[in-house]
Chains A and B, each alone.
Chain A
């Protein structure tokens, strides 16, 4: 997509490890990913946000795998096309599946790509978009909120409301009693349904905008602006999205959001302002039967689909015909909004929440316990299991119910190969060269394990290291290259004072990476 660069971060849930907590199982698999240098290289440096030495590493595909808040988290490489980002997400899923199989734990450890455990906890799926203006500007914030509040209509992953939230998920606009929601139009069903929400994240949101992502209130729009690139680039960090299984929904979610970000960068002033964005995002999520409306700041109400169409109209006016991804996004955006307006059930297979709602409804109709059957929660989770042997999503894909945008061969390549047209290509090449040179053999784990921090004297060695390393300059300034022989970052790779920087995420750095890679064995011997 012209001018766009994006990537995602997924915090996977983990279940089933006999005698192990999800966090312990995540550590075991993380170690498995990097132990054989099969997919990437471990990072020795302690990093910000409490990342201890060996907390994660960079991958040959240009992405990163690490532990965060007790979850195994995968960040895709920087992508410039929708196909690349969809493939990169699948590549991450398959790295976990392959590693669990390599460890012989496929019947013990299961990873789940979703955002709630049905016990009242949520965990993240974050989107990152490269910008040239600040995401914190008033125009950007006001322009994004109505879009993000209503985007769940086609990007929501759907869920049975977690038990702690069910009391607040009983609103009914027509028919049914307390705790009963009406059926979707077109379903022809009069069977009462259990509380179901379009979004897995909306129920956990408490503020519209915040610099924080978790404590102090989960926001619709996070204001973190950590570009991880050169000075002219900024980063939009969106944490309200669901981890989709539908590749179509993933592509549409990222494509539409990239276009909206570009509209706002160009100075377009969205004429829609919501009265209560937090209330609106929850109200929409709790309503799976259509006719979604939002209250506007001017005191009236408008259909949520019309909010989306306001963005679509302007994006079409400005961008139609620009490039393949843009045209795909515009066409599918228009089609999905019409589908949602006329009969959401026809979008099964494309929109995750519709697919899941249909599956759960059919299961409940056949169960003697109906919507009270506890197996429904397992079925909800099954949709998100990444192990294809036990994944409802994979089953439906194989049955032809759900389309794929990338084939299995493309997804398998994405486990190892970075996108060719971003700096991920250069980073991936260097990480592979470092792994082939066994750079991690030079890490002095026994010293790192004694905790870094402040001034230290160990044996005859005296040096200063920091509690965590910001970038390669910290290691250079403290003379700690003999402990931490290399550093890999989104914006640079360093091996013992030799640095290759990637300030422009839109460049592939192919020639520089090739030269740097060849020098690594000699650098490590110094």
Chain B
């Protein structure tokens, strides 16, 4: 799967940023024929594996 763009689809240079509407980021929209990533059974299995392998929540010292 190709990497995601490192920039969201941007409107014209924001010389008037308070003006709306502008283009909503759209590069994450599924393309025709592209499976929904969130229904990928491999991801579900990997998430289950991660939950099994990481330790249970552990109280931490209070920090700054």
Q: Which residues of A does B touch, CB under 8 Å?
A: 11, 13-16, 22-23, 68-71, 110, 117-119, 121-124, 126, 213-214, 239, 248, 306, 309, 312-313, 316, 320, 327-328, 330-339, 341-343, 346-350, 358-359, 362-363, 366, 375, 377-379, 381-382, 385, 389-392, 395, 399-405
Contacts and interface: CB of A to CB of B under 8 A. Distances in A.
A404 B20 CA distance: 28
Nearest to B64: A124
Interface of B: 1-11, 13-18, 20-26, 28, 37-38, 40, 43-44, 46-47, 50-51, 53-64
A320 B50 contact: no
Nearest to A376: B51
Most buried by B among A332, A378, A389: A378
A34 to B, nearest CB: 21
A348 B18 CA distance: 23
Contacts of A348: 28
Contact of A338 (B5, B24, B43, B53): B24
B55 A110 contact: yes
Contact of B60 (A13, A347, A395): A13
Contact of A335 (B1, B16, B22): B22
Q: Is the interface of B mostly helix, strand, loop or mixed?
A: loop
A330 B14 contact: yes
A248 B6 contact: yes
A16 B28 CA distance: 36
Contacts of A389: 53
Given A379-B51, A395-B47, A320 B13 contact: yes
A16 B54 contact: yes
Contact of B14 (A122, A126, A239, A316): A316
B64 A335 contact: no
A389 B53 CA distance: 9
A328 B62 contact: no
Contacts of A124: 63-64
Nearest to B1: A400
Contacts of B24: 338-339, 342-343, 346
B50 A390 contact: yes
A331 B62 contact: no
Give the 5 A-B CB pairs with smallest separation, nearest first: A123-B63, A70-B61, A16-B55, A334-B14, A403-B4
A377 to B, nearest CB: 6
A337 B14 CA distance: 12
B28 to A, nearest CB: 6
A75 to B, nearest CB: 12
Nearest to A337: B17
A335 B11 contact: yes
B19 to A, nearest CB: 10
Given A123-B62, A331-B14, A338 B54 contact: no
A123 B25 contact: no
Contacts of A359: 47
